[in-house]
A and B are shown apart, each in its own frame.
Chain A
């Protein structure tokens, strides 16, 4: 049985249909990139898979069970969701943010234990942020904050990890740093990850497979190891119009021609 199976998902907001008949499935240990222009439905699809938005039709199955029949805590043990922008508004210590990831494993009246605190510290160490564990989260740079949120997802330890444009507010270096950390986690811990990104070059560099979304439909779904330059040029030009694909050190890069 597949770990994750997305079946004929139709979803939207109010009367507006954003996603039409989305179908795909996923195994462990790979990173799937969702790519598309603004409004193509990337984030909407991620929210449906994360159990945060009820689809109008279709279902998301995790181990063959509909994700919307899971209780909140059970679901959170299977799926984590890293939002595009965290919503922390008050002064909070970094370690306390990471500790929020242990919540699915706590009862409603429980608080994190000393061991949980140690695990949170380990997660911070993994992303290289252990020195900051007592810092105020709101005083960190954007890149550091995203790493802390990645550490929180690490503590949540779900088999499926969703990332909604984790690099949207990051500079070039931080983008690469955060994405390589995410890839490392997926690979070393055998997770299955789905990530939405704006930049096709990032997707081509970091993901194992790609789903191209156009106007709410799957326009292309392929493994990165199977593709050649001509294929990339052909498929991507249908979304990004006037582009040129170049190959450098066995990787593909897309450039805008005019």
Chain B
């Protein structure tokens, strides 16, 4: 009975994901019909323009959207576990603000090319989190509240630095670029970029998968975890690093994407009513679906493309309000 229900949940989510995937390939300024998609997949002849749009624009973009939705949601779910707080997000350790600062530095001081921005944002995210961890280790109490505090400190410093950079930025080119980056977009995704982040993304995800059972135990209090033989500090550090790798590799290409990690992880818990790694994966599928829908809207609502975070915020904030009214 129970296993049947789980199978049903997964199948439904997987079918929805496939539908959304096909929709995402099809939607955009240049429409690709379902017939064309089937013809390409089955290796039949289609005209060159359709083929070009399919392979160079839509496919890599859609795969990136799926990876981003999954990665952000799985990390979000795991962060909620580690921080024992259903509102924790990957941003809590400063990975997003660090990546934002890295991107801003590349825009102003480096060439500002898309590759420079990606690499700098990736490094910025990693450095921010490692600095937060180093700050935590300076304190005698290395509990959750210290980690959160360290994350807040790093977040504030990077925000301050970003403001400084924005103040001195050339308003026409640089300021606009920084602002756009922080709103996120899948517009510039190419297969080259996708392949370049894949190793980091996969490494992070594999580590998280290997640590899946330990992650369950991290949702307990430190003391209860230790009494069960969990090396809390070491495992928590490993999990934070792996989740950061996943998030940083995504946002380094897409820019900031708000709310997906929070709401998909939350919906996963509500539907599955469990707290294990398969719930995190389920959340990942939900996150991919949500992000595909948001990205399709971003491409088709107006004549110019809308940044993705505007849409995810308009989906995410009402959902939070709904949660607030439920937990009275």
Contact = CB atoms under 8 A, between A and B. Distances in A.
Chain B associates with chain A = yes
Interface of A: 47, 50-52, 71-77, 79-81, 83, 86-93, 96, 100-101, 103-104, 106, 108-112, 134, 136, 152, 156
Given A89-B84, A90-B219, A109-B211, A103 B230 contact: yes
B81 A90 contact: yes
A134 B2 contact: yes
Contact of A87 (B2, B84, B276): B84
B236 to A, nearest CB: 12
B229 A72 contact: yes
Contact of A83 (B219, B224, B230, B274): B224
3 smallest beta-carbon distances between A and B, as pairs? A76-B229, A104-B229, A87-B221
B220 A103 contact: no
Contacts of A100: 216-217, 220, 228
Contacts of A52: 223, 226-227
A108 to B, nearest CB: 6
A103 B229 contact: yes
Interface of B: 2, 80-81, 84, 86, 210-214, 216-217, 219-221, 223-224, 226-231, 235, 269, 272-276
B311 to A, nearest CB: 28
A96 B216 contact: yes
A83 B212 contact: no
B269 A72 contact: no
Contacts of B224: 81, 83, 86-87
Given A52-B227, A88-B219, A108 B211 contact: yes
Nearest to A112: B213
B221 A104 contact: no
B274 A93 contact: yes
B325 to A, nearest CB: 20
Contacts of A79: 227
A47 B226 CA distance: 11
23 contacts: A47-B223, A71-B231, A72-B231, A76-B229, A77-B229, A80-B227, A81-B224, A81-B227, A83-B221, A90-B81, A90-B86, A90-B275, A91-B269, A91-B273, A91-B274, A103-B228, A103-B229, A103-B230, A104-B228, A108-B211, A108-B231, A109-B210, A134-B2
A110 B273 contact: no
B227 A136 contact: no
A96 B227 contact: no
Contacts of A103: 213, 217, 228-230
A196 to B, nearest CB: 15
A101 to B, nearest CB: 7
A223 B11 CA distance: 61
Contacts of B80: 90
Contacts of B275: 90-92, 96
Nearest to B229: A76
A90 to B, nearest CB: 4
A112 to B, nearest CB: 7
Contact of A76 (B210, B212, B228, B269): B228
B220 to A, nearest CB: 5
A136 B217 contact: no
A83 B223 contact: yes
A111 B273 contact: no
A90 B280 CA distance: 13
